[in-house]
Amino acid sequence: MVSYNIRGLGSKIKKREVRELIQKQKIDFCFLQETKMENINEFDLKSIWGTDSVGFARRQADGRSGGILSMWNPAIFSSSSQWDISGALIVNGRWAAGNINGCFINVYAPQNLIDKEALWDYLGGVVCQNRVSPICIAGDFNSIRFGNERVGRGSQFSTRDMQAFDNFIRANDLVEIRLQGRTFTWYQPNGQCKSKLDRFLVNDKWLEV
């Protein structure tokens, strides 16, 4: 799986970049955030995935802001239901291997703290309703969990924001998958501030399977 805040998917260069990543890493499920596209047609989706056979769910951008896209290999996973809310795209379905139900949640959290707290509450309800199934929540959470996840000049952060995000993870017994590579996932263009905003969170059932 891969999760990527693409910061605009409209150009041929960005589409080719995602396609090459999917093909090189043999990706089965792709989470993209900030597509900045109001309309993504099936031709675009097949071009991005690299084949005519692709499953997908999308939350359109609001003008040139936001936009979430999930894509998957339909030979591996088939969707049974999907819906979107402000800040997340939720897909339920079944894995071919083992015939197991599962839930994928693609997150592009809002900047506003009140909106983020509402999102954490909603996703907590989704997790509770699906406790018997594997759940994977991935994307750009626009929040840090600990103080050392943001460093550099102008790196102030809201303690309430940080605590609300950490409480969401703990209250729902989610496990953060440790990532390799860089410690931080977002860098200010001038390099003076960096943060860890992107994550994979899973439940115990996911780890069992």
- 59: which 2 tokens? 């939350």
Q: How far, in Å, CA of 199 to CA of 179, rounded? A: 8
Mean pLDDT is lowest, of 7-11, 44-48, 168-172, 180-184, for: 180-184
- 49: which 2 tokens? 């995935």
Same structural domain, 98 and 170? yes
- The CATH number of the domain holding residue 147 is 3.60.10.10
Residue 150: enclosing H or E segment and its boundaries?
Answer: strand 150-152
Q: Is the pLDDT of residue 190 over 80?
A: no
pLDDT of residue 153: 64
Same structural domain, 204 and 103? yes
DSSP letter string, 15-58: HHHHHHHHHHHT-SEEEEE----S---HHHHHHHHSSS--EEEE
pLDDT tens digit sequence for 37-74:
888 888 899 999 999 999 999 998 886 679 999 999 99
Question: 3-state DSSP helix/strand/coil percent for the chain, to nearest 5?
Answer: 30, 35, 40
Same structural domain, 209 and 116? yes
What range defines the domain where residue 107 resides? 77-209
Same structural domain, 99 and 63? no
Same structural domain, 68 and 50? yes
Look at the chain and report how many structural domains it folds into.
2
pLDDT tens digit sequence for 135-174:
999 999 999 888 878 788 665 678 999 999 999 999 999 9
Same structural domain, 52 and 71? yes
pLDDT of residue 156: 62
State which of 55, 75, 95 marks the end of a domain.
75
- 105: which 2 tokens? 């949640």
Q: Is the pLDDT of residue 10 over 70?
A: yes
Same structural domain, 59 and 5? yes
State which of 75, 103, 135 marks the end of a domain.
75
pLDDT of residue 58: 94
Same structural domain, 63 and 128? no
Q: Is the pLDDT of residue 122 over 90?
A: yes
Same structural domain, 5 and 83? no
pLDDT of residue 104: 97
DSSP letter string, 169-184: HHHTT-EEPPPPS-S-
In eight-state DSSP terms, residue 209 is -
